[in-house]
Structure 1
Amino acid sequence: MAQTTEPKLISGNANMPLAKAIARRMSLHRGVNVGLVDARVERFNDGEIFVEVYENVRGEDMFIIQPTSNPANDNLMELLVMADALRRSSAARVTAVLPYFGYARQDRRTKARTPITAKMVANMMVGSGIERILTMDLHAAQIQGFFDIPVDNLYASPVFALDIQNEFKGRMDELMVISPDVGGVARARELAKRINSPLAIVDKRREKPGEIAEMTVIGDVTDKVCLIVDDICDTAGTLCKAAEVLMENGAKEVHSYISHGVMSGPAVERVSNSVMKSLVITDSIAPTPAVKQATNIRIVPTAPIFAQAILNIWNGTSVSSLFDADTLEPIYDGMYKPG
């Protein structure tokens, strides 16, 4: 494939601030202006999505920045229509940059007569002309296998590790990483290794979906500063309940590090009124005004890591190099200075 002078970015309406931030970061890295391709992504009166690309993209390496977050169906359809428009405009390659991959929680059949929607969405993306996926913290790692195209899955844990080393400087020996359920142990263990902290688990049992019957802490959290680690915070019910149980079991403080702040329904109110001292999320999903105004919610940027990953894909160099703190620290421009 003939390489063009610069990678080209295009964005839907799901998270335009993040798309612009990625473009700015890439401009800094490249020393030339990398802007978003001029296009319109609109809706007809009946809600149908229409896309028109105003610039020539023939032979270009195109990157569509579009998390499939709420409203998931609209944002997913925008992505598919943009991919089709680019493919029909003779783009050399179309890469979907999905900071948040919607429908990832439906990755297996949990009972009879239910769908595996994550696989169906993967098929739709490939069918629309997408040739590569770049995402962050998939809910289940096996979703990469649902695609017959390359999938690069970035991790928030290296960025979180830098943030923790900055925020808890001088208190690192007090920290304990907590997995809010047995299924998230691998993710929590990864962060615990990075910051050299012990690990505990909150085991939860549900009577029915959305309702937690019982929570048990596996491990001694007495006098520890607990860091709950998970990939998604939706209504924050489980998160806030886990924080309460940890405090009841003798924890000194509870903080949470969550990759994707879905924050639907009563989530912000619950977090604001909870015993958690802070909730740290990324900007993979565009934060609502309520999230921005919450005093105990903090947002860490993903634009630096996504900008570098896009450049690595365009250059044909390693994306997995971004899993190392030594690589990430200079990318984050000294924002975090581990002590």
Structure 2
Amino acid sequence: MRSAKIFSGSSHPGLCDSICERLGTTPAKCRLKKFANGETSVEVGCSVRDQDVFIVQSGSGSVNDSIIELLILISACKGGSANKITAVMPYFPYSKQSKRKSHRGAITARMVANLLHIAGVDHVVTVDLHASQMQGFFTNPVDNLYAEPLLARWIRYNIPDWRNCVVVSKNPGGTKRVTSLADVLKLNFALITTDRRRNHDGWMSSRVQSNRHSPAESEHGEEERTTPGPTNGLHINGITNGVNGLGIIDSAPSPSMRPSDSMSNSMILPPHPQDDFDDEYTDDQAQSVTYGRLVQGHIVDDDYPSPSPAQSAVADMDPMLASIHSLRSLHNPADDALGGTIDAHNSDDDEEEADAVSGTERMITLVGDVKNKTVLLLDDMIDRSATWIAAAEHCKKRADAKKVICLATHGVFGGDCLKEMEECEYIDQVVVTNSFPIDAAKLPGGKTDGLAPSGAGTRGKLTVIDLSMLLGEAIRRNHNGESVSALFQNFID
């Protein structure tokens, strides 16, 4: 490409080399080093006057050094009279901190966007931002590319029975991402949600028992199944649940919350109209909901004892007091969420630990049918393994899934995440892109055999998809002033 220079930061040089190879050029000369006191030094080794400059720098294990190095390199090119400076950041650092989670918290992703603008960047190219509203943090234009076409193409070419797959979201925050991929592949989708608000109590126990036993085995018999509930309740599998003032469903509303006889006529739901199809009705939707007990990050049987004797006392409390007790046990008063919501600290689109407090129990629910099917567990990044392992274990042990494949755009793999997923018997394969450099020490056997210099390839359960084609085409189109809309479309084979 004429009148264009592509610089590589130290975070992911292999990806930059692969991009330049596709564009028929070589990375521009640049010297990156550190002084003895830890300060970063950047020296641009070529002229950038009136040139379009593209700097490839992704997040990495040394995220703060990567950010400072990128800012210095942008400033150096700006001082060298570059025509336009574009930061190519496949993984945008601090993207998980895109909202305030406490009263004195910081929106760090917005601060990083402001730093890029102050340094002199004119354009930003990234892939699958953790929250799409982050594009509003930037003063300059942003091209938020999608890895969905590459993931869909990999699924069609590498899973023989891909038409028998189900795309599953491991938390409610990833529903849009899952439904989008399901629409592209014309597949069904399912949703997994984990109840973080209450510990093991009578309500959870009743939901598990109702899922495992027939209505005839109910504790209250026929009377419980035929008693109509109030309009603000939820009638599931023969159990009428009330909703308390905090918006939490209780198994047995207190007597003070039950409607009086004078109000019963207006509060009771009308009977279902009779028609010719009543004899053919089957409750298939209710049967596709699978519950499970999650203790210490693993699925346990229904008769497994509660992890803490103190939890059984919560079930004997008044439902309102039990809800408040369980909430206070999980949250400190100083960490209460903003805006009156109780769980903003652990939002749905953030990965969380399997157990917020040691010794607690939670309920995991799968809405959808995955029996004898391949589960495509999808999210935007893999940082910690707890929620992925819990979701995969639930799909196989409780929902009888045939196979579980974990897919994500960014393979961050913090700590021993990759090792734990490799050793998990319920996860058959892990598929990510090379947007984030994977440390060779974290790979199976500590070797990079089977992986290209850009990080793409297969090693053990891990498969890495190359992003160089997508990013290279984005760079070429930006340099030539062409539209990038075609990059958001799925490939037609």
Letter matched to residue 266 of structure 1: D
Given candidates 138, 151, 160, the residue that maps to 2:129 is: 138
Q: Residue by residue, what CA displacement relative to the aligned partner does 1:252-300 show, whole Å, maximum 9, x if unpaired?
A: 1000111000011111211111111100010011122233565101101
Q: What stretches of structure 1 of length at least 5 have no aligned partner?
A: 28-33, 330-337
1:20 matched residue in structure 2:
17
* SS of structure 1 residue aligned to 2:126: strand
2:394 matched residue in structure 1:
245
2:428 matched residue in structure 1:
277
1:333 matched residue in structure 2:
none
Counterpart CA distance in 1 for 2:50 and 2:396 is: 57
Match runs of 1:286-325 below 5 Å = 286-289=437-440, 290-291=442-443, 292=448, 294-325=459-490
Counterpart CA distance in 1 for 2:91 and 2:435 is: 6
Q: Residue by residue, what CA displacement relative to the aligned partner does 1:205-239 show, whole Å, maximum 9, x if unpaired?
A: 34575234332111121111000111110122211
1:118 matched residue in structure 2:
109
* SS of structure 1 residue aligned to 2:106: coil
Given candidates 2, 5, 28, the residue that maps to 1:5 is: 2
* SS of structure 2 residue aligned to 1:153: strand
Q: What stretches of structure 2 of length at least 5 have no aligned partner?
A: 197-329, 332-351, 356-361, 450-458
TM-score by length of 1: 0.91
Counterpart CA distance in 2 for 1:133 and 1:282 is: 19
Counterpart CA distance in 1 for 2:50 and 2:4 is: 11
1:68 matched residue in structure 2:
59
Counting matched residue pairs gives 318
Most deviating of 291-300 and 148-157: 291-300
Counterpart CA distance in 2 for 1:7 and 1:236 is: 41
Matched, 1:185 2:175: yes
* SS of structure 1 residue aligned to 2:73: helix
Matched, 1:268 2:258: no
2:359 matched residue in structure 1:
none
Counterpart CA distance in 2 for 1:91 and 1:141 is: 29
Counterpart CA distance in 2 for 1:320 and 1:237 is: 36
**Structure label with greater radius of gyration:** 2
Letter matched to residue 26 of structure 2: G
* SS of structure 2 residue aligned to 1:211: coil
Counterpart CA distance in 2 for 1:153 and 1:8 is: 22
Counterpart CA distance in 1 for 2:179 and 2:126 is: 21
1:211 matched residue in structure 2:
354
1:30 matched residue in structure 2:
none
Q: Is the 8 A contact 2:167 2:376 kept in 1?
A: yes
Counterpart CA distance in 1 for 2:93 and 2:172 is: 22
Q: Is the 8 A contact 2:98 2:110 kept in 1?
A: yes
Q: Measure how far apart 1:316 and its partner are.
A: 1.1
Counterpart CA distance in 1 for 2:195 and 2:41 is: 45
Matched, 1:233 2:376: no
Letter matched to residue 5 of structure 1: R
* SS of structure 2 residue aligned to 1:285: coil
Counterpart CA distance in 2 for 1:283 and 1:50 is: 26
Q: Residue by residue, what CA displacement relative to the aligned partner does 1:164-216 show, whole Å, maximum 9, x if unpaired?
A: 000123x1331000111101111111111111111101112345752343321
2:139 matched residue in structure 1:
148
Counterpart CA distance in 2 for 1:225 and 1:247 is: 10
Matched, 1:89 2:89: no
Q: Measure how far apart 1:301 and its partner are.
A: 0.2
Q: Is the 8 A contact 1:7 1:311 kept in 2?
A: no
Q: Is the 8 A contact 1:8 1:37 kept in 2?
A: yes
Root mean square deviation, CA, Å = 1.5
* SS of structure 2 residue aligned to 1:325: coil
Q: Measure how far apart 1:111 and its partner are.
A: 2.1
